[in-house]
Each structure stands twice: as C-alpha cells, then as structure tokens.
Structure 1
C-alpha cells in the first residue's frame, strides 16, 4: 500500500506574540484575527528547525462532520517547546478538503477556551489551505512557548470536503466537539459546540522545538496503545503515563511522545486503519526527531484473523529492518493476556505464547518490554491480574496502563544506533 509522505508548508512567522501565565498562553493585543488569501501546498521540510513531535494520532478514514461545520479537537502535549506547528491530514480523504480558518487555544472547561488564548494558525502565511486527497500540510510556527503536559484546543472550519474524512476513532478516551453550522473557529465560548464527539478529525500531529538534545518516541500499536478502556479525558493511556515519567527527567533526557495506536489495527492486514506494515513509514519514520519506537501489534491479527506466529514474526522482522535502516531504535512489547475475551481460544493462546517467546528471546529488538509479565495473573497467566483487568478482559484498566508504563526502563528508550 503506497502511503504519501508528508507534504509540508514553508514556515512564515506571524507577527503576534504568546506569553505564558499560570493559566496558559495568551495573545497580545496585536494578534492578527483578519482573513488572508488561500495557501498553496509546497513540498519540503521547514529548514533550520529542531522539531520533535509532542502529540500525534494514528489516522484512518472516518465520517462525522460536514461542510460548513467547525471541529474543536482537544489534544494533550507531552514535551514542551517553542514554535508550535500542527499537521492537518487528508491522507484518507476522497476529495480535497478546504479549511478557511484554523485556530489553537487553551481549553477551560468542555469546549470553552481560556479568554484571550485562541490564536490563528497560518499556512505559508495564509489562513486558508486546501489539502488534496492523500496529502497533509504543516502549519507555520506559532510564536511563543507551549508548556509540557497541557491541553490544547485546535479548531478548524470546513469550507469544503468529500464524503470521507481523515481522523482518529478514539472510542471514548477523549472528548472533542462539533459545532452547529458556521465558522466558529474563533469562538472562545462553547455555545456553538453542541455535539461532544470521541474522535479527532484531520489533526495528525503537533510538533515543537525543544532543547537541542530532545527527540521523539513513537508508541505504535493497536487498541492497548490507543488506551481503549482508560478513563475519559484523563490521559491515562500507557503512553501518557510514560510521558509523565519522561517529563520528570532533566530536559536533555526528555522525549516527545507520539501515540499512533489505532484501536482494531492489525499488523498484517488493512482494516481499522492501514495495517502496521502499510503505515509504519508515515506514522513512525516520518515523525520529526524520531529516535525510538515501541512496537506492540499482533493481538487483532491473532484474535480476528487467525494469524500464525510465523506470519507475525515475519511482519515484525520487516518493521525491525525498516527502523534500523533509518537508525531508529525499536523496542518489542509482548502481547497481554486474552482469556475471558472473545479473542480467546486454545489455538489463539498457543500463537500468543509462541509469538511472545520470539519477542523475548530472538535478540532482534533493541530491547524488550514484557507487558505480558507485568499484567498477567501469576495464578492464571492466560488472564489479566484482576486489579488490572479492564474492558472486555482484553484491555487493561487505568491501573494496568500505569503498571505497563512504570515497567519500562527509561534507559531502554535510547540505543547506540
């Protein structure tokens, strides 16, 4: 499957200034709120930037909004930095999508924003951008500092779109908002955002320029990486808990964390999003500053598609080879227990055990994270430990996700490649 690489826009600093206070960032009185001419898409990466990803989502085809509505996506940063740039993606779309307004602000409560925090995004210095199907664009840098571990609200007004949107189906882990018809991207009031949604639309990544030594860590997987079953709006996925641990380190040892898990995703076959094999370059290797990827894929291949251990091993070997060819460290994570779920059978359990044995013992990964050993019940290792058992006996609960993150040695997140 051919996945187009990122098409970025040349950065052009806008004239406004952001400053921090205890409540977040705020615009000064000279902020531009006027309209501008449409932007055009131009190839090439922004020159002279030390960019890392502070937030990301694995994108897939989805439906929901319509032309004339405004989407307010709520996201949570990992590492902090300056020069915020956002990637808007139409890689799964069936027609060009046109945004004639894009803003980023600080959430207050629900869809409401902190007064004075909403800032216009530009693309090549223009406020309107058209993204062809199969492409993505990068906004201009927004002056000012984005703090670590903070929520942002990214609002886009849809001037034109096709039948299929590019987005991320979150399955009740984060609330975003859809407006009544009209351009409400500038609104700091929540009044027009009447429909809570559990998806992100068109927003694929956020990047910043941190201190020079910082890089990007990508969490790549399926629903367990996506945080299925974790508490809504709490940022209790295991990559979130890992990001908190990383942020407690001195700045040179920090990493931006990009969670590109997709619920229902498979290693070998397209379905809920492109397969891991098809999307690895786009979702991992194209992330700015990528140094390390944690790979946890295969559970859906076993439970929904009867994949064999040999097939899964061949698929993961392909991803190991691609990561190493780019000088990226790759850590293999074992598959967690399945008993009690619809995926469980004696045959599937045998495949899971064989696959996990290869992950642990092959020596082909730069390090191994044994999520199975962390979460299983020692008295019955085919099941989750009761204290960690979550949605459908297939996913951890919040405590289980935290235990997974806490079990990752931070020293394993870098290697000599």
Structure 2
C-alpha cells in the first residue's frame, strides 16, 4: 500500500532518488515504458494518436417521490443550459446523454454546446455555439433506461475550461435523471434556446444537472481517466456555488499543469452527496442519494471511457447516517478494491474525515470511524491511501475539522480545505 508518498513492499535501491522511484511506479501503473518519459520532452504529445477520453462526468439518479419540483415534474417545450468544467482539453468533444431513470422516452428536439462569455455565465461567446447532432440529425429519442452518444463536435476546448450545453426538450419528459447537488447553476428557458448566445430571460435556475452524464474529448495528450467515487466531500458540499472548487476540480488543475510530460489523465467526479458503500438512498427514503457504491461500479466507474484509476472516498455516511458497524463498512470497501483491481484498475482510497460538531456525531460513531481508518492505514487491498483525516482534522481536537478548513457544518471542507485535499494527492499514484 502507498500512504501519501510512501510505498509498502518495496525497498529503495541505492542511488535511486525518491522522485525517480515515484515516476517509475507511476509509469508502471500506467503500463508505460520508461522511454515514454524521455520521448515526451515538451507538453504532452508523446507521439500518441488522438483518442476519446473522458473529460467530465457526473452520476445521475432518480428523483425522490417527495420532490415536487423540476426533477419529478420534468420539462416540456423548455431548454436547459448547463455549465460544466472539463478537465482535459481536446480538438473535438462528444456528449453522453442518459435517460437511465426516466419513466418513458426522452425527446431531444435541438441541442448545442458553446463557451461561456465569462466563467459561470449562461451568455455565450459569439461564434462559439456548435449544433449537436445525433447520427446526423438535430433531434433524437433517448429510450427509457438508455444512454445516447452524440456525434463528434468540432469545438476545440482547453483543459479546465467551462462549456455550456443546451438541451431543448419539446415533449413533456416526466421524471428526470438528475444530479441533485451540482454546485453549478443550470438555467431553464421557455422554448428552444439551443442557438441563442443570449443567456438572459431564464424562467428558473437550479443547482442540479439533468440528463448530461459525461463529456469526452478527442485528444492525443490524455492517458485515460481517474474516476472519483465518493460522497458529499467529493461532490462539493461546502464548496462555493459555481466556482468549480470541489477537491477533484483542484486535482484536475494540478494534473494538467504539473505533469504534462506523462500526459493528462481526465478527472471524472461521479460522487453523490449522501452516498454509502453498502446501502442505497431508498433505505432512508432518498433516491437522490443514489444506489450504494457497490451497486454503482458497473455504470459509474467501469463503463467510463479510458478509466485507469478509481479514487474511493466513501464510508462516512455509512457511519453517521446508518450507524453501520466498522466490519460492514470495511467489508464493503474491500469489495470495491477487489472488483476494481479485477478490472485491471489502480485503486486509491481516502480515510474518513472528522465530524464532531455535526448533528449526528456521537462518541460511538467516532469509534467506528477510527476503526475504519485504522484498517485503511494498514494492510489491505487498495494500492494507495491519501489520509484525508490527517489533512482535515484539528491537531488540538482530532475528532473535529480544522476551523480553517471547515465550511461551517463541521463535516464538509470549504474551498481552502478542498484545495488542501487535492494538494495531498501524489500525482504519480494516478
């Protein structure tokens, strides 16, 4: 196991620098020869052919039946403009649109992608709009439970750039497939706004994603993807709305600016607030929390384009929401690692952060958290560990979040805390 920047089961060779050992391990994990690093002397090109690599992703769920808003009622003769930030750049993009949780077919009447005039703005740069087609047609039907991949779109994008995706939904959609804590604003308009640069005149704005499951970039620099499978710590609860300050966002920024010589793995954040390792949201009457992480592996992790590494940040909801014992949580985490490695993926895990001061904290639950963390720091099936607990905790009160990193609810990090988490991830692990 690798904990932060140290490795288990290997002994340093005389005359080999720590950085050299890290690079060698990173290359081995990517299945690359050492000569690749030497050949790629400049920004990542490496003589590799362009290929489709995931550059943005999210997990979508069914709406709660208790929700009478947009997620349950859906849309009719309306457009949704959604702003997301890609991780990798590329010469072209294509989108994955899902109707996984719909109650019937989803009709897309018109769709487009463009570049915001300013970060977070629904108004687009003139000339940046590209019409999205589906097998050459501007309209498409996404059948119940299905996913649709668009045609390639000639829109070059740079790494860590925002794009705006507009979907016109002419026919009543019914219940949606959505992501309930997007930390990005989606704008709703009457009628077809797919070709409109002007982003004013919205009839509603929501902190949710709808139907958009992923974006792929056509790139010669991307060496696969890192999929973050987590809960609200990774989903961005506590992060500034619309600012792309979740810790996986900061990680994507580090990757694209720090290690170009090895290529830039995309970062796909498929985390769900409230998600648990072994229990689904229905267990507490909240479908929006999603299926258990074990049940999500096939759809949200293994099916991602070019996935090479899965970063697991889970378990705290099993402790504080469900009151599960440590052995149940550990068994679930073991299965996540075993199944991912069986698919040839590298696995990295985070310890469970502190939460004293949160409404559900008890000394008994603290003991469970500590037991899980003790196991994670020991000998287990994961390839690497990043000690989120050590980073977030207050040295003077280790069961509490450091005040400088506390978003105010005593469990979720603020932007500064998220940046500290991302800075602690050894990039060679990925």
TM range (shorter): 0.7 to 0.9
1:58 aligns with 2:59: yes
Give the corresponding residue for 2:367: 350
What is the aligned counterpart of 2:167 among 132, 150, 156? Answer: 156
Give the corresponding residue for 2:202: 193
| 2-structure distance, mates of 1:90, 1:183 | 20
Structure 1 residue 50 displacement after superposition: 2.2
Give the corresponding residue for 1:92: 101
| 1-structure distance, mates of 2:50, 2:424 | 33
| 2-structure distance, mates of 1:90, 1:310 | 36
| Unmatched runs of 5 consecutive residues or more in structure 1 | 1-47
Give the corresponding residue for 1:383: 400
| 2-structure distance, mates of 1:279, 1:50 | 26
SS of aligned partner of 1:143: coil
Structure 1 residue 391 displacement after superposition: 3.9
What is the aligned counterpart of 1:141 among 140, 152, 158? Answer: 152
| 1-structure distance, mates of 2:153, 2:163 | 13
Change (3 A) 1:391 1:87: farther
- Asked whether the equivalents of residues 111 and 193 of structure 1 are also in contact (C-alpha less than 8 Å), the reply is no
Higher relative contact order (CA 8 A, sep 6+): 2
Deviations 1:120-149 (Å, cap 9, x if unpaired)? 111111111111121111111112422111
Give the corresponding residue for 1:294: 311
What is the aligned counterpart of 1:174 among 184, 188, 202? Answer: 184
| 2-structure distance, mates of 1:129, 1:229 | 37
| 2-structure distance, mates of 1:83, 1:213 | 13
Structure 1 residue 119 displacement after superposition: 0.7
Aligned length: 364
| 1-structure distance, mates of 2:50, 2:145 | 25
| TM-score, structure 2 as length reference | 0.82
| 2-structure distance, mates of 1:212, 1:176 | 30
| 2-structure distance, mates of 1:392, 1:161 | 38
Give the corresponding residue for 1:254: 264
SS of aligned partner of 1:361: coil
| 1-structure distance, mates of 2:403, 2:234 | 20
More helix by share: 2
Aligned-pair Cα RMSD in Å: 1.5
Structure 1 residue 363 displacement after superposition: 3.0
- Asked whether the equivalents of residues 81 and 210 of structure 1 are also in contact (C-alpha less than 8 Å), the reply is yes
